[in-house]
Structure 1
Amino acid sequence: MRITLAEEIMLLSLDDDSGQAKDRWAVGWIVAGGLLLELALAERVRVDGAKVEVVDSSPTGDALLDDRLESLAAWAGSTKSATVAAWLRKDQARSVEAALQSLRGRGIVTEERHKVLGLFPVRRFPEADGTVERELRERLNRVVLEGAEPDPRTAGLIGLLHGARLHRLAFPGEPGKLVGPRMAALAEGQWAADAVQETIRATQVAILAATTAATVAASAATGA
C-alpha cells in the first residue's frame, strides 16, 4: 500500500504498545514538512530559500495531500510572509491530526478513546495492519544500514528525520554514531531536483530554529 511521507512519519512515531506518538512536538514539524515535500515532489509547490509558493493547485488524487494543498494555497494567498517556517508553525498540529485520520481511514491504525482518572481524554492509535510499517522499516534498513540507493521519497524521509534528530524513530536499536553519518550524507545528497532539495533544507532550518528557541526558553524558565 502506497502512503504519504507524513503517514510514514506518523507510523514510525507511534509506540507499538501504547499507540501514542513519541516525540510528538518534533514529529509535528516533520509531518508537516513531509506533506510539504510530497507536494514539492508532485510539482504543486516550490520552495525558494525560505519562501514557499503554490505553483499548481490542481488535485494530486490523494485526499490527504489535496486537503493540505488547499489549505496551503489559501494561506499563501492571504499573507505576505509565506515562508516554510511560518507554514510549519501554523500547520503542524493539523497535519498530525490529518495524517492520523488518514491512517485510520486506510485501516492501518485504529482509534481508541478513554479518560485518565475519569477526567482527562486520551486517544490511542494502535496498529491494525503492521504490514505497511514493516515494509517501511525494511526499506529504510536497506538504504541506511545496507547502503542501497534510495528513491527520492525515501531519501526525503531520511532527510526530514535527520533534520529533526529523530534517528531513533526509524532505527530504535541502532546507535546514532552508526546511522547518523549515512543519514547526513543522504540528506545532503544531490538525489532530487533543486526545488525538492530546497524544501528539505528549509524544513531542516525551520526545525533547528524552533528546537533552539524551545531549549533557550526552557533554560530561562529553570534558571539554568
Structure 2
Amino acid sequence: MTGHPHGQEHRAGGGTGRLADDFFLMAHEESTGKPRLAERIAGLGLAGALLGELALAERIELRDGTVAVLDSSPREDALSGRVLEFLKQEQHPTRTWLAFFGQSAHVEVGRRLIDDGLLVREARKRPWQGGRWLPTSVDVAVRPTALLCTQLIRGQDLEPRDLVLIGLLRATGLDQPVLWEVRQSRPAALRRAAQLLGSLRASLVELITQTEAAVGSAIAAHRL
C-alpha cells in the first residue's frame, strides 16, 4: 500500500480461498490476462474485497459509512495484515478507504498471486504499455468462476463469502461477463442470490453498498 490514508482463510476446494484473489482472477480473461474492467473500477472492487476478507474474518466491522477494527492481532497473510495496520492507525470514511486502497490494490493483489505461483507478470513490450498479469494455468485462473457458476446453477448453498463475492461482482458490473452462463441457463439462481444478499450480516451488506456507491461515483465523475 502506498501513502496515507489509506480473508477469509483458505477454503477446501474453493477457488484461491481469498476473496480478493478470486475477484482479481475473475476481473481478467483466463487465457490472456486482459482486464474485464476499467482500472479504477477494478481497483475499487479489489479494495472492497480486501476489506471483505477482514470483515468475513470478523476483524473489522463496517457501519454507518465507517470502518471499526475489532481484532488487530497479526494476520498470517502479509497483504491483509498491511490493510489492517492502516485501518488501525487512522480513521476515515469507508469511501475514503476504498479510494485509497483502490489505488494500489491491483498491484498488491497481483503480487500476492505471483507469490502463490498463480500469476506471472508479462514484461512491457513498449515503455508506455503496462505488462499484463498472466495466469500460470488457465485451469487455476478459471476455477473461481467455474466454482461459483456451478454452485449457482446446481442450487447449492452459498456461504457468506460466496454472497459477498457475488455482491462485489454486481457492484462493479463484473457479474455481466463472469456469470453469463448462469444468466442464460438458470436466471432464477441469480434472483435468489440477490435476495440472499440481504441476509448477510449488516457489516457485509454495508461493504457491498459502499463499494457500489464508490463505483457509481467513479463512473459519474468519468462522464463529467
CA distance in 1 between partners of 2:150 and 2:195 (Å): 15
Shift of 1:211: 2.4
Q: Give the superposition deviation at 1:174.
A: 5.7
Contact 2:41-2:218 at 8 Å conserved across structures:
no
Between stretches 27-36 and 133-142, larger displacement belongs to 133-142
Q: Which residue of 1 aligns with 2:93?
A: 83
Q: Cα 1:139–1:17, aligned 2, differ >3 Å: closer, same or farther?
A: closer
State how far apart, in whole Å, the 2-side matches of 1:104 and 1:67 are. 17
RMSD: 2.3
Give 1:88 shift.
0.9
Q: Which has the larger radius of gyration?
A: 1
Aligned partner of 2:144 in structure 1 is 136
Q: Secondary structure at the match of 1:19?
A: coil
d(CA) in 2 for partners of 1:165, 1:183? 15
Q: What displacement does 1:73 show?
A: 2.3
Relative to structure 1, the CA distance from residue 175 to residue 138 in structure 2 (aligned partners, 3 Å threshold; closer, same or farther) is closer
Gaps of 5+ in 2: 1-9, 11-15
Percent identical residues: 27
Residue 182 of structure 1, CA deviation = 4.2
- In the other structure, the counterpart of 1:213 is 221
Q: Does 1:71 align with 2:86?
A: yes
Q: Which amino acid aligns with 1:122?
A: G
In 1, Cα distance between equivalents of 2:23 and 2:128 = 26
Q: Deviation of residue 172 (structure 1)?
A: 4.6
CA 1:13–1:55 in structure 2 vs 1: closer, same or farther (change >3 Å)?
same
| Shift of residue 52, structure 1, vs aligned partner | 1.2
Instruction: Decide which of 109, 119, 127 is 2:135's aligned counterpart.
Output: 127
Q: Which amino acid aligns with 2:21?
A: E
Deviation at 1:180, TM superposition (A): 5.3
Quote how far apart the aligned CAs of 1:152 are. 0.9
Q: What amino acid is aligned across from residue 112 of structure 2 in structure 1?
A: S
Q: Work out whether residues 107 and 129 of structure 1, in 8 Å CA contact, stay in contact via their aligned partners in 2.
A: no
Q: CA deviation at 1:153?
A: 0.6
Q: Residues 136 and 97 (structure 1 numbering): CA distance in 2 closer, same or farther, change over 3 Å?
A: same
**Residue from 146, 149, 152 that aligns with 2:154:** 146
- Measure how far apart 1:145 and its partner are: 2.6
Identify the match of residue 168 of structure 2 among 160, 163, 171.
160
| Corresponding residue for residue 79 of structure 1 | none
Counterpart CA distance in 2 for 1:198 and 1:151 is: 17
Q: Is the 8 A contact 1:51 1:84 kept in 2?
A: yes
Letter of the 1:44 partner, please give it. Answer: R
| Partner residue, 1:10 | 24
CA distance 1:214–1:160, change in 2 (3 Å): same
1:103 aligns with 2:87: no
When the two structures are aligned, how many residues end up with a matched partner?
Answer: 207
Q: Which amino acid is 2:178 matched to?
A: A
Distance 1:182 1:212 in 2: 29
Structure 2 CA distance for aligned equivalents of residues 213 and 54 of structure 1:
30
Alignment gaps of 5+ in structure 1: 77-81, 218-224
> 1:61 aligns to what?
76
Rounded Cα–Cα distance in structure 1 between residues aligned with 2:129 and 2:17:
29
- Please, what TM-score do these two structures have when normalized by structure 2? 0.81
Spell out, residue by residue over 1:13-47, the C-alpha distance to the aligned partner (whole angstroms, 9 max, x if none).
Answer: 12234323221321111100001111111111111
Which residue does 1:94 correspond to in 2? 104
